[in-house]
Structure 1
Amino acid sequence: MATHHLQGSLFDQTDEIRLGPLDGITRTPLASGAWIDVLPGWLSGADALFERLAADVPWRAERRAMYDHVVDVPRLLAFYGTDDPLPHPVLDEARDALSAHYAGELGEPFRTAGLCHYRDGRDSVAWHGDRIGRGARQDTMVAILSVGAARDLLLRPVRGGGATVRRPLGHGDLIVMGGSCQRTWEHCVPKSTRAAGPRISVQFRPYGVR
């Protein structure tokens, strides 16, 4: 598997991997009952965590049918179910902290973790919502912790007519998409023609949401 060099963050020079408090998180209401919470730099030592995950996670490459062709999925993937041990203790801490912080709104804990490894600017994920399972019919939350180089996460209304929201995420940043966001909005990580370093996103979800 090819390796890609990560240029470290100028603002996160520690190798101590630890979470900060969640009390500085900022909410932005979107249309149709959707919202996002963003907390830059929630995780310190994010570049060190990136290196651990890149080396230790059993990444898999997938191929999917598209029209009359079978194509490579432009990113590497891993998934950890409700009973699977996560690949680093700080991810267990993050999942527990998010479950406690959002207990009143979400009403259930975050249970699974999906990981995506974007190796460079050619890797991406197309416009979509997490609507497999309960996310198609119920309000829910998806929390994403990003380590490695920053990449843009874009959000837009499913039915159009609104402005696209752009949030660059990397180096320990957190975003939580809540309310009706998975049903009424969609999100993507577009390809980049600029030099883009590698990034790993960790998506925490409740049980039955994919």
Structure 2
Amino acid sequence: MTAARPDIPGFQGSLFDQGSDIGPGPLDGIRRTELGDGAWVDHLPGWFHGADALFEELVAGVPWQAEERTMYENVVAVPRLLASYREGAPLPHPALVEARTTLDAHYADELGEPFVTAGLCLYRDGRDSVAWHGDRTGRSATQDTMVAILALGDPRDLAFRPRGGGPVALRLPSGHGDLLVMGGSCQRTWEHAVPKTTRAVGPRISVQFRTRGVR
């Protein structure tokens, strides 16, 4: 893993996010989509106020890392920049602490435990992506869990399909402060991806909050 200085194109902010406050809004309007097999996705567009200002601060202030991995006996670059905050590590912006606290309170009864880690991905343009996968490292391989995603920057599709392949069952464009929460058996029985795109898209940051022992 090597430190990477983000080289990204100009960012076009949302016309609907021009306030000076940075922080989460209420979760009253969140809507749930049942995927099947005990899996579901909650979605709340525009949850985060000042999302574009937060995006710019994270781009500049987070110690982004470039990773490589071996694929078919070749070493290839991971098509996105990454940052990870383990349990107990200070998050890179106080607004993310507020977001995590809000999520903990809302999902306390259903989840039964707090979100304790945060992973950040920076998608610089449409060539950056994440392949089909489920977060099945750790307890989520055998237990229900939740992964909450705060999307900042230009919208990109988060796509869902049943585990093992098949057609895309759901696409949720997310950016500019949208919230998505994957819950129930979602990590075990479904897969999700941010596909590459040839459309002209700007940079996007995904902030993923997870519970203890889930990656």
Please state which band the TM-score falls in when normalised by the shorter chain: over 0.9
Deviation at 1:7, TM superposition (A): 0.3
Q: CA deviation at 1:15?
A: 3.1
Q: 2 CA distance for matches of 1:159 and 1:60?
A: 30
Secondary structure (helix, strand or coil) at the match of 1:3 reads: coil
Q: Does 1:64 align with 2:75?
A: no
Identity %: 70
Map 1:41-60 onto structure 2 (within 5 A).
41-60=46-65
Give the length in aligned residue pairs.
Answer: 210
Q: Does 1:109 align with 2:114?
A: yes
Measured in 1, the distance between the counterparts of 2:50 and 2:212 equals: 29
Match 2:96 to one of 91, 97, 107: 91
CA root-mean-square deviation:
1.0
Point out where structure 1 has 5 or more consecutive residues left out of the alignment: none
Could you tell me how far apart the structure 2 residues matched to 1:149 and 1:163 are? 21
Counterpart of 2:208 (choices 199, 203, 209) is 203
Report the AA paired with residue 25 of structure 1: I
- What is residue 9 of structure 2 aligned with on the other side? 4
Give the 3-state SS of the residue equivalent to 2:79 in structure 1: coil
Gaps of 5+ in 2: none
d(CA) in 2 for partners of 1:94 and 1:32? 29
Aligned mate of 2:145, from 140, 152, 162: 140
CA distance in structure 1 between the aligned counterparts of 2:150 and 2:166, rounded to whole angstroms? 29
**Matched AA of 2:89:** D
- How far is 1:11 from its partner? 1.5
Task: Give the drift of 1:181.
Answer: 0.1
Query: In 2, distance between residues paired with 1:160 and 1:148?
Result: 29
Q: Partners in 2 of 1:115 and 1:157 — Cα distance?
A: 25
Q: TM-score, normalised by structure 2?
A: 0.95
Task: Name segments (4+ residues, structure 1) moved above 3 Å.
Answer: 159-163
Taking the aligned partners of 1:76 and 1:167, their CA distance within structure 2 comes to 22
The answer to whether the aligner puts 1:80 opposite 2:91 as a matched pair is: no
Does the 8 Å CA contact 2:159/2:168 hold for their aligned counterparts? Answer: no
- Would you say 1:123 and 2:118 are equivalent positions? no
Deviations 1:59-109 (A, max 9, x none): 000000001100000000000011100000010011111111101111100
Query: What TM-score, normalized by structure 1, do the two folds share?
Result: 0.97
The 2-side partners of 1:64 and 1:48 are apart by 32
Measure the CA separation in 1 of the matches of 2:178 and 2:21.
Answer: 16
Give SS of 2:37's match: helix
Secondary structure of 1:48 counterpart: helix
Please report how far the alpha carbon of residue 56 of structure 1 lies from its aligned counterpart in structure 2 after TM superposition.
0.2
Conservation of the 8 A alpha-carbon contact between 2:153 and 2:203: yes
Q: CA deviation at 1:3?
A: 3.2
The alpha carbon displacement at 1:16 in A equals 1.9
